[in-house]
Amino acid sequence: MSKQINLPHDDSSCGWYAALSQQPACKRLHGEQRADYVVIGAGFAGLAAARRLGELMPDKRIILVDAQRVAQGASGRNSGFVIDLPHKFALEHPDPAHKQRLLSLNRAAIAQLQGLIERHGIDCQWSHAGKYQGAVGQRGLAYLAHFEQLLKNLGETFRLVERDELAQVLGNTYYSRAIFTPGCYLMQPAALVTGLAHSLPENVELLEESPITRLQRKGQGGWLLQGSQGTIRTAQLLLGTSIFTQEFGYLRNRLLPVMTFASWTRPLNDTELAAYGGQLDWGLTPADHAGTTVRMTQDRRLIIRNTYKHVPKYGKSTSDAMRESVRDDHRRAFLARFPQLADVPFSHTWGGVYAISRNFTNFFGELEPGVFASACDNGVGAAWGTISGTLLAEMAVGGDSAQLRDIQTVTGMPSLNPPEPFLGLGVRSRIRLAAWNSRSEL
């Protein structure tokens, strides 16, 4: 197989990445390289896969390669939730055992991340803060009641929080009610993934700013990865490439590239913090999934995330004008919640692209002999990427475990998409309809 790769094209305005201290110079792909295993994509899945390979195969050479710097892609652009509970669509699965497997896998990922953070001293605002799921009006309250029933059916711990109590946390009375679930962790995603990258095993070599532009099968059981300044030969290839998996010829017409956007403020000063009146270090997701996610970070920044776009050309589907329009939408959502902070500006607005599937199914497994992939996290990237990458490495070396069997049970093949232009028309129409129906929750 030989195919030209369409590369990531992310904006340079991600607040999380801008808040990092200056990163050390990176190592790039040069010349002819050979490795026993190559992992493409240094997000949560790729980092976990490379780490586990390094642990399991200490005498083998493993190369982890990414087109950008670590944390410049999707893993450094999310809102910083590491969620244990599956999203609504997975919670509605009819098989209770399926949901328990998902919970167990997500919680194993959280425990794994916490262990790595403690062992390597990764400073990433890691916090067992839990998560609020909030409702504004009647539409949101109906979704919240449904979520409450799903949690009861699952036997999960939760707490209803009414407006007045919620206002003491959030610094506003915008929300009518929320459900608090204790299992979620919060973090600074760019700081976390760079910390994970800097603490990889010694036999894992990280190559950044080294896009793979062509992938070719060379004889039986071998691959040649072509970059602009070098090549890598390997017998075993693991893809932690999310939506870009389709660029390598796999899962074609099965993944939907969607971008969601966030804006955040500069850190609030003492006067602004007093006017805000709420707490630090919390996160709220909307009961209506098309609503607004809000966070207050440990370092006093407020984050607003909403607005979804279908991006068939990934970052090239966006523009400065689009981000300005999104920023205006975020400003309206911010002022509706925090009118007392009208003079506090946004410092950054950014987008991040991720993969969803029409049947909300995650892919995990062997695509063809010697090629393994975890793709399509359906919006739960930090936890799912961590555990799926770890288990993908175990599969690649012929391992077996209860967790590996569990992830194989709960994953499958994303369904086929309609052809263009019908796909684009349908996705854009659905996004617009969801935004319209959810306008009271924005």
pLDDT number for residue 219: 75
35: closest CA among 207, 180, 182, 171?
207
**Bridge pairing between strands 185-186 and 81-82:** antiparallel
Helices (H), 19-174: 44-56, 88-91, 96-120, 138-154, 163-170
Query: The pTM is what?
Result: 0.96
pLDDT number for residue 3: 55
442: closest CA among 234, 225, 275, 290?
290
Estimate the crossing angle of helix 138-154 against helix 96-120, to 10 degrees.
Answer: 90
DSSP string across 201-230: -TTEEEE-S--EEEEEE-STT-EEEEESSE
Strand partners, 226: 214, 231
pLDDT number for residue 4: 59
Each residue's pLDDT tens digit, 358-383: 998 999 999 999 999 999 877 678 99
Task: Give 90-98's long-range contacts (Cβ < 8 A, gap of 24+).
Answer: 90/360, 90/378, 91/147, 91/150, 91/151, 91/154, 92/150, 96/153, 96/154, 98/409, 98/410
How many other C-beta atoms lie within 10 A of the C-beta of residue 136?
22
Q: Which portions of the chain are predicted below pLDDT 50?
A: 1-2
